[in-house]
Structures are given as C-alpha cells and as structure tokens.
Amino acid sequence: DQIAAGCLECHEQGGRASLVGTEIQERVERATLEIAEAEDAIREIARAGRPVGDLRFRLLNARTSYRMMSEIQHSLDLERLEDLALRVTTVSRDLRGAAEASAEARWEHRLFLIPVWFLILSAVAFASFRLRELRREPE
C-alpha cells in the first residue's frame, strides 16, 4: 500500500513516474483482494466437503503471478504487470464461480431432501397407525 508513496521519494508528484506508481499500486491492491477472495472461495468449497486439491494448485499459480508482480513493479512494465494481474483475477473469478456452484448444489441437495424427509415421516406415521390398529384387533 506504499508503492505510490515510494515513487514520490524520488519523483515529483503528478509526473509520469508517480502516475505510473499510482496505477501499479491500484493493480497490486486489486490483485491482493482477488487472492483473498480466492482463498475464501476455497475455504467455502472445503467446508462443503468438496475436493479442493486442484483448486489449491490453481491458487498457488495465482499466488506465483501475484509475487511476480512485486518483481515487475520496479521495471514499470505496465503491460507485463497487467498480464500478471489478469492471471490472478482469472483464477480468483474461477474459484469464486466454483464456490457459487458448490453452494448452489448444496441448496439443490437440501431441496431434494424435503420430499425425502416427508416420505420418511409419512412412512413412520403410517407404520405407527398400522401398529396401533394391530394392537387393538383381537387375535
């Protein structure tokens, strides 16, 4: 969060270098949020009991791109920086999409359980009534 301020130590405010520094800082901050959201998505998927091995590998790739951003920022290569930020964003979006699909599948599963529970309770009630009738009938 101090990238732009670091640029101002040597460059004048409003100059090209400070503007590029501000732009770099914004991209790094956005990528930082994307990584955090991707980590949250993986935790959510894991809590749902879904396998996350491949997703963790994708997150590792995104973290690698994120770390490379810190190496690139001093070169002021905005094109390369944007490419790395796009990789982070793409993985984050994919992981969040997987988390949303997992949550939707859990919801659909719960909806499916409603008629199942109804049938089970109906069967128990029917068996209970039938058992009472059998107990009342003389042998």
38: pLDDT confidence band, cut at 50, 70 and 90?
Answer: very high
Task: Look up tokens 């859990």; give the residue.
Answer: 106
* DSSP state for residue 89 in the 8-state scheme: H
Phi, psi at 36, each rounded to 5°: -60, -40
Query: What is the rounded distance in angstroms from the CA atom of residue 2 to the CA atom of residue 26?
Result: 11
Q: What is the pLDDT of residues 82-95, one digit of tens each?
A: 899 999 999 999 99
Output the pLDDT for position 109.
Answer: 64
* Cα pseudo-dihedral 86, 88, 94, 95, rounded to 10: -170
Q: What amino acid occupies position 4?
A: A
Output the pLDDT for position 77.
Answer: 79
